[in-house]
Structure 1
Amino acid sequence: MSRPPAPSSQPDHCDPSAWTSEAPLLHVEAGRGRFANGKSASTNPTAPLGSGVDSSCRTGDSPSTRFSLGRLSARIDAGAPPSRPTAPQPGSGSPTWGASASPPLGSNLNPTVGIHREHAARTAAGEAGVAVAKGDAEPPLRIALLTSEAVPFAKTGGLADVAGALPNALNRLGQRATVILPCHRSAWKAGVPIRATGITAQVPVGTALVNADFLEAVVPDRDPSHPGTRFILIDQPAFFDRRSLYGEHGSDYRDNAERFLFFTRAALAAIQELDLKPDLIHCNDWQTGLVPVHLREPLGSSWSQVACLLTIHNMAYQGSFPASDFRLTGLPPWLFDYRGVEAYGRFNFLKAGLVFADAISTVSPTYAREIQTPEFGCGLDGLLRHRAGDLFGIVNGIDPAQWNPAIDPHLAQTYDRDTVLEGKAVCKAFLQRRASLPERPEVPLFGAVGRLDPQKGWDLLARVLPNFLAHHDVQLVVLGEGQPRYHELLDHLASDHPHKVRAFLEFSNALAHQIEAGVDFFLMPSLYEPCGLNQLYSMIYGAVPIVRATGGLADTVIDATPDALAQDQATGLVFRDATPEALAHALERALDLFHQPHLLHRLIRSAMSRDWSWDRSARDYVALYRRLAYRRRASRTASATMLDPPSRLA
């Protein structure tokens, strides 16, 4: 589908410990607002980097003085000619560190940090006096899921998989989930019909009014009896008609603050103008971090019953911008404060969301605990410890329509839990041929897929693999691309061991599936891993994951101890210390296991029996959604307190 023609430095003045004691509440409700300014954004698609709006966005009156009560956006009459044809067309910020804190909402509920997959989600809902979702046991929730990327329209990482699959699973449970995301250039190539709604809003960004067209598409579900999921795409070519989502040539787009401030306000305008009436808005990562701020300050009573959840997919990406960019928001100036949206002298989108959201979730219970420590909190651990009562962890799921060895079209032979030995033997031989390695079923075959990056444990692998390959009769297949030094490492290993090593320095979805099906062991020694998906794929495909006990890896992989093997609970090999010695020992354990085929087969069958589908994760999310919606309705009167300027909070 093609688009129709277009008519850190860290000042140390901000102490993370400032929020370890009692602090003023930031529960904010306020009036509804309108910006009235005749200026509009440039729509020149050839404008230089960072010029998505006029330079006047950064000059003129203070944005805070231009705010008056009213609605967020101006609606264009639905009968007016849309700026995109109504007929279907053929077809994060860089790692930064900040600081501060926030008080928990509803602290009397005292939730346990982390919703575990089996029981804690049900406990969470029960504490609030609401039932856990069981499809049609409760009235359906209306959920607006806001994200900067979602499959099939745009993807740079795992967030897109979550945002594409979770809403479908929620709707299969009887909820009413709608996804809102920017209309990136890649959306027009997704193969999904996109149509104009005929509704447009003018969205304030600094002193300019920027046009937002609301487009929509329906993505079919894997269940043909399900009508699919509605996606609302925010179209503004000056901001989103670009080669990439967040930057090019290793650098972020210089106007990312403007781009995602615009998306924040346009998404809220779409919710109003399309009459979605959500019970809860589910925000994802820094790109949506300003949404919770706008829900409480200064839009006010029209949002007072709407709960807000912010999910952190990776703490290292925070959307940290110069303090001067805060002027673009039109928010009261006192919000730029260590108790608000400021972190280490900079305007921090993620921190804003962490302060103002009703609750925070991460993509695994262990990661929810880890980010409360200096090692993993990326400078915001003080804030996260302060909000521990509102911090939860829910493990991601996988889409069985895409990742299922019984129906996978990429495999040389499909198989299931009962035919895994025969099926994997065929797939292993196919992979060895594809990798130009000798076909040797008696040799352990190791694999790795993903970014070649220190986070993924490649510094550990660089120190362990040369000796391991030199002293053992094994094979290794790697798929991925990343830092040049790891490309060089793999080139050297393949040159030194041409009959043992093959590296595909690229990305191929088909080959990724073939590696999971063909290898005996999958390497994932991450230094940190908020959730991780490849270990889930590996277990489903009968490849034994070798993982470090961090984040979602610790929550999903059960180590093959003698007791766990005897009880059919083991699903992989786990090591704890991020040292070459610990990884080398895990690899030696893998060799021992490979030469005990009865134990290896028992472990594989145990791993393949686990349910990691999104349907299961969605039930945990629904339980949390219901809790937050209940709490928001119950506390809206008590929490309707305006935030005073810091001078009056001293």
Structure 2
Amino acid sequence: MGFDVLFLISEVAGFAKTGGLADVGYAFPKALAEYGHNVVVVMPRYYVIDRNNLEHIPRSLSVRLGKDTLWFGVFRSKLPGSEVDIYFVDYEAFFGRKGLYDDGFVPYNDNAERFIFFSKAALEVSRSIGFRPDVVHLNDWQTSPASIVLKYNDYFRDSVVVLTIHNLQHQGFFGKEKFELLNVDSKHFNPFEFEALGGLNLLKGAIAVSDAITTVSRRYAKEIETPEYGFGLHEHIKAHSFKLFGILNGVDYNQWNPQTDRFIKCRYDIDSLENKKECREELISLFGLKIGDDEPLIGFIGRLVKQKGIELLAASIEGMLKDLRVGFVLLGSGERWAENFFSSLASKYPDRFGCFIGYSDELAHKIEAGCDMFLMPSLFEPCGLNQIYSLRYGTLPIVRAVGGLDDTVRNYDPETKEGWGFKFWDANPEALFNTIAWAIDVFRNDKEGFRVMQKRAMRLRFDWSASSKDYSDVYTWARIYKRLKGG
């Protein structure tokens, strides 16, 4: 049974991206459509999205934001490679900025206004085009306001709300005075819904009022019910665990496939894995490294923030470069100290450490193809996508066993040769160092086992087809639950 799905998200790859959420926004709606659902996506029209590449919808719409009425424009396009419509909310005062959520370092001080407005505007777009959704699918705190706003709009009386939590760390916490921007009954500002520590918590409220909640891996669904990973909401989430489902994100193998990748030096697959060596040589040359064939090249791509385990890496990497005969390449940006630290490290060890501060999609593909192993030492990782990309490229992941990393990587067993990666559990530099040392030893002294793992990894598939079925089941569950509770 296909559903009409209104998919609200704050970023979509191909239009505006800060991280993995955008990759989900790009691939997941297309997969839902292929599964048989009728999907409409709505996102903000940020400054980085050229309106000249979009179709202008000749109408002006308005929503209430507290005491004000705001008028906005609408643009339309298609998700690349599909017939899925994507609509853009155009309001220059909120979205005509270079950054999506911050100026590069500090969050915008009107983010409450920006995303409460966007959530309301997205619902109005749906109404204006005559799209009456069976399911309103929300993603993270930026779209959470829609969970309660639509309950005051008769147009959505039959719609169920499904909320996906991609990262619980970010909750949309603001001063209590921002609650009035929602234009809903003040009874919802209570400790069981939108109030937290005297302020407004948009994600907390959406967890309470949504008909179903999903997270992006099974392990993460369990982790967020604990104090360590619950970021203050673990008890709240436990109270709603009956409607919580862990569904692993998929990846788009049309974009991440060494057999067809247009960015890499030499394409390859399981039967031509020897071609991967040319990709490694190109990457070494790009960064000007000088490492031998028996010295592995390890890659890192990600935000340089605490969540990604960047402090563990900073505390141990110089010892690795000195003692382990290994090369590293790093692509990312984030906290200023980390950018400075890794940049200076590249100057200190130019033969062994390559660093690019920023982001390049082309370079990301070259790193996935050219490295022997890929490092993700995250303190927590709801799903993670790069470890899944790495598997497809025969680039064995070295990960901390949390969230989706634990779900997707099986630890190598030297006795049976089973597994397809290397895992560690303790969040300390010693555990990271020792695991990398072990992985290097396998690379150098157990070549057969390493090659077997590479081929096993390349056969694995974590695409969206299985996830789309699971989400379809959740949509059905949510509709039954809504009827039973008399919603």
Q: TM-score, structure 2 length as denominator? A: 0.95
Residue in structure 2 matched with residue 307 of structure 1 by the alignment: 160
Residue in structure 2 matched with residue 536 of structure 1 by the alignment: 388
Residue in structure 1 matched with residue 405 of structure 2 by the alignment: 553
Q: Structure 1 CA distance, aligned partners of 2:475 and 2:373?
A: 37
**Contact 1:219/1:228 (8 A) holds in 2:** yes
In structure 2, give the amino acid aligned to 1:561.
D
1:243 corresponds, among 81, 98, 116, to 98
1:182 corresponds to 2:58: no
**Contact 1:411/1:513 (8 A) holds in 2:** yes
Q: Cα deviation per residue 1:211-244 (whole Å; 9 max; x = unaligned)?
A: 13232212342xxxxx521011112222222222
1:424 corresponds to 2:273: no
In structure 1, give the amino acid aligned to 2:128.
E
Change in 2 beyond 3 A, CA 1:412/1:477: same
2:31 corresponds, among 149, 163, 169, to 169
| 2:72 alignment partner, SS class | strand
Q: How does 1:629-640 map to 2 (within 5 A)?
A: 629-632=479-482, 634-635=483-484, 638-640=485-487
In structure 1, give the amino acid aligned to 2:73.
D
**Contact 2:147/2:206 (8 A) holds in 1:** yes
Cα distance, 1:563 vs. partner?
6.0
Instruction: Write 1 or 2 for the structure with the bigger share of helix.
Output: 2
Q: How does 1:354-373 map to 2 (within 5 A)?
A: 354-373=207-226
**Contact 1:446/1:523 (8 A) holds in 2:** yes
Cα distance, 1:490 vs. partner?
2.6
Q: How does 1:74-473 map to 2 (within 5 A)?
A: 139-188=1-50, 193-221=53-81, 228-296=83-151, 298-300=152-154, 302-420=155-273, 422-438=274-290, 440-473=292-325
Residue in structure 2 matched with residue 525 of structure 1 by the alignment: 377
In structure 1, give the amino acid aligned to 2:364.
A
Q: Structure 1 CA distance, aligned partners of 2:297 and 2:287?
A: 11
Q: Structure 1 CA distance, aligned partners of 2:39 and 2:417?
A: 40
Q: Identity, % of aligned pairs?
A: 38
**Contact 2:176/2:199 (8 A) holds in 1:** yes
Q: Structure 2 CA distance, aligned partners of 1:528 and 1:220?
A: 31
Cα distance, 1:257 vs. partner?
1.5
Q: Structure 2 CA distance, aligned partners of 1:461 and 1:401?
A: 31
**Contact 1:146/1:281 (8 A) holds in 2:** yes
2:435 corresponds, among 555, 576, 586, to 586
Q: Cα deviation per residue 1:146-184 (whole Å; 9 max; x = unaligned)?
A: 011112222122111111110111111221111011121
In structure 1, give the amino acid aligned to 2:101.
Y
**Contact 2:287/2:354 (8 A) holds in 1:** yes
Cα distance, 1:534 vs. partner?
0.9
Q: Cα deviation per residue 1:581-636 (whole Å; 9 max; x = unaligned)?
A: 2212211211221121110010011111011222332222222222223333x32x
Q: Structure 2 CA distance, aligned partners of 1:303 and 1:488?
A: 50
Q: Which has the larger radius of gyration?
A: 1
**Contact 2:296/2:326 (8 A) holds in 1:** yes
| 1:586 alignment partner, SS class | helix
2:476 corresponds, among 618, 622, 626, to 626
Change in 2 beyond 3 A, CA 1:493/1:197: closer
| 2:97 alignment partner, SS class | coil
**Contact 1:433/1:439 (8 A) holds in 2:** no
In structure 1, give the amino acid aligned to 2:211.
D
**Contact 1:398/1:613 (8 A) holds in 2:** yes
Q: How does 1:488-499 map to 2 (within 5 A)?
A: 488-499=340-351
Residue in structure 1 matched with residue 337 of structure 2 by the alignment: 485
Q: Structure 1 CA distance, aligned partners of 2:318 and 2:80?
A: 47
**Contact 1:183/1:240 (8 A) holds in 2:** yes
Cα distance, 1:305 vs. partner?
2.1
| 2:89 alignment partner, SS class | strand
**Contact 2:411/2:422 (8 A) holds in 1:** yes
Change in 2 beyond 3 A, CA 1:143/1:563: farther
Q: Cα deviation per residue 1:496-536 (whole Å; 9 max; x = unaligned)?
A: 43322222223221111111111111111111111111101
In structure 2, give the amino acid aligned to 1:573.
F
Change in 2 beyond 3 A, CA 1:486/1:241: closer
In structure 2, give the amino acid aligned to 1:585.
N
Cα distance, 1:472 vs. partner?
2.2
Cα distance, 1:377 vs. partner?
1.0
Q: Cα deviation per residue 1:381-413 (whole Å; 9 max; x = unaligned)?
A: 111011111111111111112111001111110
CA RMSD, aligned part only?
1.8
Q: Structure 2 CA distance, aligned partners of 1:601 and 1:401?
A: 24
1:602 corresponds to 2:457: no
Q: Structure 2 CA distance, aligned partners of 1:501 and 1:306?
A: 52
Unaligned ranges ≥5, structure 1: 1-138, 222-226, 641-650
Deviating beyond 6 angstroms after TM superposition, the runs of 4 or more aligned structure 1 residues are none
Cα distance, 1:446 vs. partner?
1.4
Cα distance, 1:269 vs. partner?
1.5
Q: TM-score, structure 1 length as denominator? A: 0.72
| 1:502 alignment partner, SS class | strand
| 1:184 alignment partner, SS class | coil
Unaligned ranges ≥5, structure 2: none
